Amino acid sequence: MKGRRFSTIFLGVACAALLSSCLGVDMNTRFAKDGSGALTVKLRLSQQMLAMAQEQGKSAIPLTKEDVEASYKNLPGVKVESVTQENTDQDRIITAVISFRDFSVFKATDGLAGSGATLARSPDGTTTYRVIVGSPDASKGLQQGPSQATPSAQSPQPDPQTEQAVEAMLKSLMSGYSLVYSVTAPSKILSHTLGNLSADGMTVEYSIPMADYVDLKSPLTFAVTW
């Protein structure tokens, strides 16, 4: 019974960590010369994980068109241009196009344009986009288990076999899902830290499998300069 209780708690914590990673995220930011632009965000959510989210209660990620619109409605100069939702046997796919007048409005948000996303102009006339990929807390719930993520004298001690089995199951559910960041600049891209440059030199795309993302030991910086 004690092992079963632990496995239920661990599954809940792990599911919360997994759901906060959105499973499949494809985010393109297209900039104009004046710093305005548009985000195109595609979330691909496993129907299996959606069912788990409903069992766990309110999710931290947008699961409906209404959720997406609510996430952006209070940001000045930001407009949700369109949101489409498609359900397949395997996934729910939500695609949103969001325009913005000034990208700096996203700096204080978490996850809407990427954690810590910034756009900065240098004295030499170049512009650099930066976003943090992962964070120290991104995979804490999955890697440490509930006894360390939420310390409590009453918490049951983890059973290594149960923990490994649940983690293997969750990693299996993440198979085929990735986190993708891409930036399309208004002029030729001069340098970038991660990802691949398109043939026309205007877009950089970085992709990491979600299973690798939650295993990151420290954050990465995706930076693009034009």
Q: pLDDT-derived band of residue 140, with 50, 70 and 90 as boundaries?
A: very low
The distance in angstroms from the start CA to the end CA of the chain is 59
Long-range contacts of 148-156 (CB under 8 A, 24+ apart): 149/13, 150/13, 155/9, 156/2, 156/5, 156/6, 156/9
Rounded CA separation 205/43 (Å): 16
What number is the average pLDDT over the span 41-48? 85
Tokens linked to 198: 């398109």
Share of the chain above pLDDT 90, in %: 33
Task: Look at residue 147 in the predicted model and tell me its pLDDT.
Answer: 38
Which has more pLDDT, 4 or 165?
Answer: 165
Within a 10 A sphere around the Cβ of 146, how many other Cβ atoms?
Answer: 22
Condensed to tens digits (0 to 9), the pLDDT of residues 118-136 reads 899 999 999 999 988 876 5
Query: Which pTM value belongs to this model?
Result: 0.73
What number is the average pLDDT over the span 10-21? 45
**Cα dihedral sign, 115-119-122-128:** positive
Task: Look at residue 183 in the predicted model and tell me its pLDDT.
Answer: 97
